[in-house]
Amino acid sequence: MKKKHVLPIIFCTFITLFMVLTIILPKQERSANEKRVLAKFPEFTWDNISSGKYMSEFDTYLADHFAFREKWVGAYSYASLALGLNGTTGVYACDDGYLITTPADYSESQIKRNIGTLKTFAKKNNLDATLIIVPSTGYIMDEVLPKHHEKYKDDMLFDMAKNSDIPLIDLRDTFKKSNEQLYYKTDHHLTSDGALLMYQCYTDFKGYKPNEFVVATTIDGFYGTSYSKSGLWKKSPDSIKIYKPVKPCNFTVTIDKQNYDSLFFEKQLETEDKYQVFLDGNHALTRIVNNSVDNDKRLLIIKDSFAHCFTTFLATDYKEIFMVDPRYYRGSLKDIITNNNLNEVLFLYGADNLASSTDLGWILF
């Protein structure tokens, strides 16, 4: 065999072997590391073939199921870091083990539209409104960011929110001064300590004394969304703390017409996303009744997932809380407000979500 033929033969052998392995190896329905459903094999129909949909879906299927895919994804991420390309996956690998999402591209017009929608909703329904914006991890944790990074635009969002007529609880200075770990290292959410501090800021703003809480359980092995995007599979996991009130409360939680007696859903600790232990994760509508308080305080929370852990603290203060996620809820909020005599609303969003959401318009219907 001539030497000039050796490399082509090795290359063709590798490609052939790789294709065979891609075909014969078992296919997964989900990627545990990436926390998502993988593409299914496309349906072979004339309409799919003639429209080009079949080939498009087949390309997606191959991209999700080629042999040893997650190992290749990890190799690419670590190679990028070695070449000084930190953040190419949309996540910065930072000091102290943090994986922090790169800055979102804020649109001033979208921010103005969303804040205007909140203002209109509160005025239209004659509600006492409060706004909480959770600063992005990169904005607060700037000391751990890589030396060369893009600028986070939280200040622009907060400045625009302050110029609205909605009372704003500004967490920036308090969070910057805190010595607690307020954000998970592998996820964009606040830790339970961060949510507790936000609760204390809320009660201070509202002018009443916060309840006291103790750590009841600590759950190890939590990998969040930043980890899933990063491809840096060797990073250490986070731990999740579950706080419970010193003075016990009896709750009734209603989700999808099913009643539960706890704010914490321990079945979710066996899943890929352990953060769903707080109020069972994302739902269109969640109702919480505190059977242990005598007051008549009733609150509507229009929110994203940053509200879930926070509300496990806040629920100790209110007789009834309705949590609505505009990404999923398409019912009439007017009916909820009227039928339950609600006169107070809390808008609670992570900075990136408030700046980019295109679902808030639904709350006006």
Domains of the chain, residue spans: 1-67, 107-213+247-364
Q: Which helix (H) or strand (E) holds 176?
A: helix 172-177
Q: pLDDT class for 56, splitting at 50, 70, 90?
A: confident
Q: What is the pLDDT of residues 258-288, one digit of tens each?
A: 999 999 999 999 988 999 999 999 999 999 9
Q: pLDDT class for 82, splitting at 50, 70, 90?
A: confident
Q: pLDDT class for 15, splitting at 50, 70, 90?
A: low
Q: What is the pLDDT of residues 151-204, one digit of tens each?
A: 999 999 999 999 888 999 999 999 999 999 999 999 999 999 999 999 999 999
pTM of the predicted structure, to 2 decimals? 0.86
CA 105 to chain centre: 17
What pLDDT is stored for residue 9 in this prediction? 63
The whole-number average pLDDT for the span 68-79 is 71
Tokens of 364: 């006006």
Tokens of 250: 């009896």
The whole-number average pLDDT for the span 346-362 is 95
Distance CA 240, CA 274 (A): 8
Distance CA 286, CA 225 (A): 23
Contact 240, 283 (CB under 8 A): no
Determine which of 6-15, 78-87, 104-113 has the lowest per-residue pLDDT on average.
6-15
Distance CA 87, CA 5 (A): 40
Q: pLDDT class for 104, splitting at 50, 70, 90?
A: very high
Distance CA 68, CA 21 (A): 9
For strands 285-290 and 298-303, give the pairing: unpaired
**CB atoms closer than 10 angstroms to residue 45:** 11
